[in-house]
Amino acid sequence: MRLPRPFGSSPVALRAMGKSIIRDAWMTPGLLTSCRTGYSMFRKCHYLSKDHVDYLKYIQFRNILNTLKKVAKESYYRNLLETHKNDIRKTWKIMNSIIGRTKNKSSLSSTFIVNDKEETNTSIIANSFCEYFTGIGKKYADQIPPSQNGLNHYMKSDRNISLMFLGSCDPVEIDKIIQSCNAKKSTGQDGISMLLVKAISKEISVPLAKVIHFH
The residues pairing with 102 across neighbouring beta strands, listed in sequence order, are none
pLDDT at 170 (0 to 100): 87
For the stretch 124-175, pLDDT in tens is 888 888 888 888 888 888 888 888 887 777 776 666 666 666 677 889 999 9
Judge if pTM exceeds 0.75.
no
- Is the Cβ–Cβ distance between 110 and 125 less than 8 Å? no
pLDDT at 95 (0 to 100): 85
pLDDT at 9 (0 to 100): 42
The conformation of residue 20, written as its DSSP 8-state character, comes to S
pLDDT at 63 (0 to 100): 93
- Strand locations in 83-204 (E): 112-114, 117-119
**What per-residue string of b and e applies to 104-135 under the rule 16 or more CB within 10 Å gives b?**
eeeeeeeebbbeeeebeeeeebeebeeeeeee
Low-confidence ranges of the chain (pLDDT < 50): 7-20
pLDDT at 100 (0 to 100): 72
Q: Give the CA distances from residue 176 to residues 60, 157, 167, 198, in Å, rounded to whole numbers and listed in that order.
A: 57, 34, 16, 10
